[in-house]
Amino acid sequence: MSKVALKCDKITMKFGGLTAVNEFSVEINEHMIFGLIGPNGAGKTTAFNMITGNLKPTSGEIFFYNQNITGMKPFRIVSLGMARTFQNIRLFSNLSVLENVLTGFHHKLKYNLIDAILRTPRFYKYEKQIREEAMELLESVNLADKADFKASKLPYGERRKVEIARALATGPKMLLLDEPAAGMNPQETMGLMYFIQEIKEKFNLTVLLIEHDMKFVMNLCERIAVLDHGVKIAEGKPEEIQKNPDVIRAYLGDINA
Ligand SMILES: Nc1ncnc2c1ncn2[C@@H]1O[C@H](COP(=O)(O)OP(=O)(O)OP(=O)(O)O)[C@@H](O)[C@H]1O
């Protein structure tokens, strides 16, 4: 039996009078690619934000490998092995591709401020080590030859990959991707699909992703949960989700809105 990587137990997020997520429960086995879908405003990003510590749930609990992480600060959750990317790519546009990836190693640094100021041998040793590791990561995302480019100069699909490389630099067991294919053309989207499968195998990851591109979700994810107005209305394999009447209704309702 597979281990459960992530468990959400009835998590709820209220913003004043609005219940953005209502008692959402899910269990995600490790090494799975799991999709979270739903019409606009269904509460997907809010669920992500609770899982990654960016929002504290109004109620309910979240467990990461059986450890209760409910309401923990994001940096602590990252250090436990959960990394994420954002709906709108958040890179330091003035930094190089390599420097952006280096920021992902930040929490793992083994030298302190004094080492950095005095440039002690320890500082140089770890600086060299993390640069090598960052370059390896860039190689695995096929961007090593662009390490010195400014992040802002890369095409959209590659910036998305840099963001993922930075998330991988934190050494995650689980990766959460918020709309990774948004803004990509069909060719880039196809490339991204293979890329996510590749890094999942290579880094032994569990992946949870939000995505509106149905072809992408149905082809990539092994299991899918559907949110509508903050409530989980379905969960299952892609072929089950595709023919679920509640899901079809939720999406048609969205189109007619
Ligand atoms: N910080 C906030 N304060 C108040 N309301 C919020 C906040 N964040 C989200 N909401 C509301 O919660 C609901 C769910 O939003 P959320 O962004 O989680 O949906 P989503 O499924 O990710 O949507 P989309 O697919 O459009 O990104 C929406 O009605 C949204 O306006």
Distance between Cα 48 and ligand 1 center (Å): 11
User: Rounded to an integer, what distance in angstroms lies between the CA atom of residue 77 and that of residue 47?
Assistant: 15
149-203 pLDDT per residue, tens = 998 888 888 888 899 999 999 899 999 999 999 888 888 888 889 999 999 999 9
Q: Residue with the nearest Cα to atom 10 of ligand 1? A: 20
Question: How many angstroms is it from 18 CA to the middle of ligand 1?
Answer: 10
User: Any residues with CB less than 8 A from the CB of 93 and at least 6 apart, and which?
Assistant: 150, 151, 152
- Which pLDDT does position 257 carry in this prediction? 44
Question: What ipTM did this prediction achieve?
Answer: 0.94
Question: For residue 21, which atom of ligand 1 is closest to its CA?
Answer: 14
CA 236–ligand 1 middle distance (angstroms): 24
- What domains can you pick out in the chain, each with its CATH number? 1-81+172-257 (3.40.50.300), 92-171 (no CATH)
* 39-71 tens-digit pLDDT: 999 999 999 999 999 999 999 999 999 999 999
Distance CA 11, CA 57 (A): 6
Q: Grade residue 256 by pLDDT with cuts at 50, 70 and 90.
A: very low
pLDDT tens for residues 222-242?
A: 999 999 999 999 999 999 999
> At a CB cut-off of 8 Å and minimum separation 6, what does 193 contact?
216, 219, 220
Residue-wise DSSP of 18-67: EEEEEEEEEEEETT-EEEEE-STTSSHHHHHHHHTTSS--SEEEEEETTE
* Percent over 70 (pLDDT), the chain: 90
